Chain A
Amino acid sequence: MSLDLPLVFTALMGLAILAYVVLDGYDLGVGMLMPAASEEEQAVMVSSIGPFWDANETWLVLGVGLLLVAFPAAHGIVLGALYLPVAAMLVGLMLRGAAFEFRVKALGWHRELWNWLFWFGSFLASLAQGFMLGRTITGYDSGFGYWLFSLVVAGGLCGGYMLLGATWLILRTEGALQRKAIGWARWGLGWVALGVALVSLATPLASETVKMKWFDFPRTLGLMLLPLATVACGVWVWRSLGRSDWKPFAGTVAIFVLAFAGLAYSLFPYLVMDRMTLWQAAADPSALRFVLVGALVVVPLIAAYTAFSYRVFRGKARAGMYEH
């Protein structure tokens, strides 16, 4: 039996993107929540993500790297079509990455400026990513409705990241900040519910292909498990707010995984909606085999030392704990 290498690489790329969305999602979310916190609280918030953000962003490089390695034909089309949102995202990520380092070393209005840039960069990057997602679902079609749809997705993803960020803070902080984060999480959850509902309703309208895949009885009945499970997770997060430190975050991650599964199902087997399948876009097997061998050796190692790092930095964050 020969291995379907393009399929394996689609799965790997999907995993990298999912890991990126969840991991950088919480630290982008924390960044977006910064203006709602006091200066002391901001220091704790930055401490809670300090040791992780570098590695979190590496998943983005892996995701785009796998797109480039495994699907060179789609790489150019996707990144060409998403040129401006990609540029906006990159500027956002640069600003916040730099702000991470500069805000702790600056004083006075310089510090204010970097705090503002940290928020702005986080927000710009999140917005751009949501916009890219919206454009991808609709196969980069132009027209007012499609742009509006992408903006709705962008808003929804920002809400999702803020929910991730807020529940991360519930997990990693205590006292007044934790109570504030519970309030943020309630807002975030409401926003996410609205966003997921809008996107779920609008996607079949925006794309005939997606509509066919979801509204095809009796398959639809089985597929309905996905939205039902998402709602159940949402309720579980809501109910555990204020009662558990870890359940809200775990529930939010589950919502992201489910939403991701739904999107993956909608898109599959296309890399460029309705235009290019993963098999059409795939690189030569010699290239894929060479990378797969490395990935099989290295990815478990990455998982192991990532787990090690989270173990080293477990527990509640405190202000200045990770200032270097």
Chain B
Amino acid sequence: MEASDALQLARVQFGLNIGFHILFPSITIGLAWLLVYFRARYALTAEAAWLATYRRWTKVFALTFAMGVVSGIVMSFQFGTNWPGYMNTVGNVAGPLLAYEVLTAFFLEATFLGVMLFGMNRVPGWVHMTASVLVAFGTTLSAFWILALNSWMQTPAGWAWNEAGKLIAGSWLEVIFNPSFPYRFVHMTLASGLTAAFVVAGLSAWRLLKAPADAAAARTLRTGIVIAAVLAPLQIAAGDAHGLNTLEYQPEKIAAIEAIWKGGRGIPLELFAIPNPATKHNDWSISIPKGASLILTHDPNGGLEGLDAFEPDVPPVAPVFFAFRIMVGLGFAMLALSWLGAWMTRRARAAPRWLLWGFAAATFIGWGATLAGWIVTEMGRQPWLVSGLLRTADAVGDISGAELGASLTGYVITYSLMLLAYIVVLTHLAGEGDGGEK
């Protein structure tokens, strides 16, 4: 009993940290490239307004980046403190991927961020532009490595056993470009683009509600809306492709997503239901007959495997089922809002106040979808930490519940304080104008 309590605490703590951390990279990966765009517009037009825009969003970026750095440092330690069995078992594959992230991406981002933030008057314009590009490149590269590792844990490939019976990489190319990696990488970078676009649009809308005549805010509102309107349908297509990839390599995850307890032909699509693990049945179900088969196999009578085919190694159904519906729902909400916004602001039309309120309210909508998506993919992999190779329960350390509880309390207080301060400062920054700044 005690061992499983420690396991649950270790999972809660790690999940809390990783969930807190992902909030910030999900903004910075996309926002970094937006800053490159603003910086380039300033370089091309030499308009002071573009410079002011660049500076304003650089502040948001710096703040977000710092939050990502410090919460990321925590993660690098928690791999060892919470999951010693992880490195012991698959360290020969996971370690080098993390090392490449640090070596190729972290130093690049952190060093050139200094030049980007503080060096504008100290280096020539092209050097400063290059620094902005390198920061953006670094954030994307960082996502590349970490998603390669995460995808490998979902769909391991390219590994072998050495003479000592330890798992090693047989082919690094196969490890990195494992079956789910391209889908996950595209899905996550698009998610970051959408998250950043809604943050930019939302904070600009917030500014316009306070100062309707702010032309720079109207321009960034439009920029955010257009980017979101382009990325939202791409993301839906990418998500669909990712889902079909999951059906091929992790059918048990799909069974949990769709709450298919028993496999067969012509499986209905559950729009809403309360999955009941005791009866292995969906209560309060509202479903479209043969819908799941149609979507997943493109044939109304197509066969799908159910959770029964994978017992006892099945993921918890309800969280995966609900998180998936939240993610998809928010995805379509983003599509609707961005297209509506694009239409309403066409040809430099001013956005009506109700639309501004809508975008201000949706500032962090990308966070909701991103977190829900990660819950689907990570909980959908359980009880495995590395699919088929290592169980989560076998990777947990022998840290006492008291130590976990004490540190968890410290983390919760710190995270709450940081998140509150982050949102307060962001809205405060958004509310003030560019006028007084140099």
Name A residues whose Cβ lies closer than 8 Å to a Cβ of B: 50-52, 54-55, 57-58, 60-62, 64-70, 72-73, 75-80, 83-84, 86-88, 90-91, 93-95, 97-98, 100-102, 105-106, 283-284, 286-287, 290-291, 294-295, 298-299, 302, 305-306, 308-309, 312-313, 321-322, 324
Report if A61-B425 is in contact (Cβ < 8 Å); known contacts: A84-B403, A309-B114. Answer: no
Do A98 and B397 have beta carbons less than 8 Å apart? no
Assess whether B69 is interfacial by the CB under 8 Å rule.
Answer: yes
Chain A CB within 10 Å, residue with most, of B118, B169, B399, B425: B118
Report if A312-B91 is in contact (Cβ < 8 Å); known contacts: A80-B84, A80-B399, A302-B103. Answer: no
Complex Cα distance, B72 from A209, in Å, reads 36
Assess whether B332 is interfacial by the CB under 8 Å rule.
Answer: no
Complex Cα distance, B421 from A285, in Å, reads 46
Contacting residues, chain A, for B118 (C-beta < 8 A): 50-51, 313, 321-322, 324
Assess whether B74 is interfacial by the CB under 8 Å rule.
Answer: yes
A286-B169, A324-B62 are known contacts; what are 10 more A-B pairs with Cβ within 8 Å?
Answer: A51-B114, A55-B114, A57-B69, A61-B102, A69-B95, A77-B84, A287-B92, A306-B111, A312-B115, A321-B118
Contacting residues, chain B, for A100 (C-beta < 8 A): 66
Do B168 and A64 have beta carbons less than 8 Å apart? no
Do B99 and A101 have beta carbons less than 8 Å apart? no
Contacting residues, chain A, for B162 (C-beta < 8 A): 284, 286
Do A80 and B114 have beta carbons less than 8 Å apart? no
Partner of A106, one of B59, B95, B425: B425
Do B410 and A75 have beta carbons less than 8 Å apart? no
Contacting residues, chain B, for A57 (C-beta < 8 A): 69-70, 73, 110
Assess whether B3 is interfacial by the CB under 8 Å rule.
Answer: no
Do A324 and B58 have beta carbons less than 8 Å apart? yes
Report if A294-B414 is in contact (Cβ < 8 Å); known contacts: A51-B117, A302-B107. Answer: no
Do A87 and B87 have beta carbons less than 8 Å apart? no
6 contacts between A and B (CB under 8 A): A72-B88, A72-B95, A83-B403, A291-B99, A298-B103, A305-B107
Cβ proximity bits B111-149 to A, threshold 8 Å, 1 near / 0 not: 111110111001100000000000000000000000000
Do B95 and A54 have beta carbons less than 8 Å apart? no
Closest to A54 in B: B110
Minimum Cβ distance to chain B for residue A91 (Å): 5
Assess whether B79 is interfacial by the CB under 8 Å rule.
Answer: yes
Assess whether B172 is interfacial by the CB under 8 Å rule.
Answer: yes
Complex Cα distance, B413 from A95, in Å, reads 11
Report if A70-B95 is in contact (Cβ < 8 Å); known contacts: A54-B69, A290-B169. Answer: yes
Do B418 and A80 have beta carbons less than 8 Å apart? no
Minimum Cβ distance to chain A for residue B292 (Å): 41
Contacting residues, chain A, for B58 (C-beta < 8 A): 324
Partner of A79, one of B77, B103, B123: B77
Do B172 and A87 have beta carbons less than 8 Å apart? no
Assess whether B37 is interfacial by the CB under 8 Å rule.
Answer: no
Complex Cα distance, B407 from A312, in Å, reads 40
Report if A294-B104 is in contact (Cβ < 8 Å); known contacts: A65-B76, A287-B91, A287-B96. Answer: yes
Report if A64-B77 is in contact (Cβ < 8 Å); known contacts: A69-B99, A76-B87, A313-B114. Answer: yes
Assess whether B85 is interfacial by the CB under 8 Å rule.
Answer: yes
Report if A61-B76 is in contact (Cβ < 8 Å); known contacts: A101-B66, A290-B96, A291-B100. Answer: yes
Do B114 and A69 have beta carbons less than 8 Å apart? no
Closest to B164 in A: A284
Do B85 and A76 have beta carbons less than 8 Å apart? yes
Minimum Cβ distance to chain A for residue B426 (Å): 10
Label chain A's interface by main secondary structure: helix
Contacting residues, chain B, for A308 (C-beta < 8 A): 115
Report if A105-B92 is in contact (Cβ < 8 Å); known contacts: A51-B117, A84-B403, A87-B407. Answer: no
Assess whether B71 is interfacial by the CB under 8 Å rule.
Answer: yes
Report if A98-B67 is in contact (Cβ < 8 Å); known contacts: A69-B96, A86-B81. Answer: yes
Assess whether B234 is interfacial by the CB under 8 Å rule.
Answer: no
Do A68 and B84 have beta carbons less than 8 Å apart? no
Name B residues whose Cβ lies closer than 8 Å to a Cβ of A: 55, 58-59, 62-63, 65-67, 69-74, 76-77, 79-81, 84-85, 87-88, 91-93, 95-96, 98-100, 102-104, 106-115, 117-119, 122-123, 162, 164, 166, 168-169, 172, 397-399, 403, 406-407, 410-411, 414, 417-418, 421-422, 425, 428-429
Contacting residues, chain A, for B418 (C-beta < 8 A): 94, 98
Complex Cα distance, B429 from A58, in Å, reads 28
Label chain B's interface by main secondary structure: helix
Contacting residues, chain B, for A287 (C-beta < 8 A): 91-93, 95-96, 168-169
Closest to B119 in A: A312
Complex Cα distance, B141 from A294, in Å, reads 14
Minimum Cβ distance to chain B for residue A82 (Å): 8
Complex Cα distance, B418 from A322, in Å, reads 22
Do A83 and B399 have beta carbons less than 8 Å apart? yes
Do B407 and A305 have beta carbons less than 8 Å apart? no
Contacting residues, chain A, for B411 (C-beta < 8 A): 87, 91
Do B95 and A97 have beta carbons less than 8 Å apart? no
Partner of B92, one of A86, A283, A294: A283
Minimum Cβ distance to chain B for residue A265 (Å): 26
Complex Cα distance, B162 from A93, in Å, reads 39
Contacting residues, chain A, for B77 (C-beta < 8 A): 64, 79, 86, 90
Report if A54-B114 is in contact (Cβ < 8 Å); known contacts: A72-B88, A283-B92. Answer: yes
Minimum Cβ distance to chain A for residue B166 (Å): 6
Contacting residues, chain A, for B172 (C-beta < 8 A): 290
Report if A98-B80 is in contact (Cβ < 8 Å); known contacts: A84-B403, A302-B107, A305-B112. Answer: no
Do B80 and A80 have beta carbons less than 8 Å apart? yes
Minimum Cβ distance to chain B for residue A111 (Å): 12
Chain A CB within 10 Å, residue with most, of B67, B73, B102, B403: B102
Complex Cα distance, B73 from A88, in Å, reads 13
Contacting residues, chain A, for B397 (C-beta < 8 A): 76, 80
Contacting residues, chain A, for B71 (C-beta < 8 A): 94
Contacting residues, chain A, for B63 (C-beta < 8 A): 101-102, 105
Contacting residues, chain A, for B73 (C-beta < 8 A): 57, 60-61, 90, 93-94
Closest to B166 in A: A284
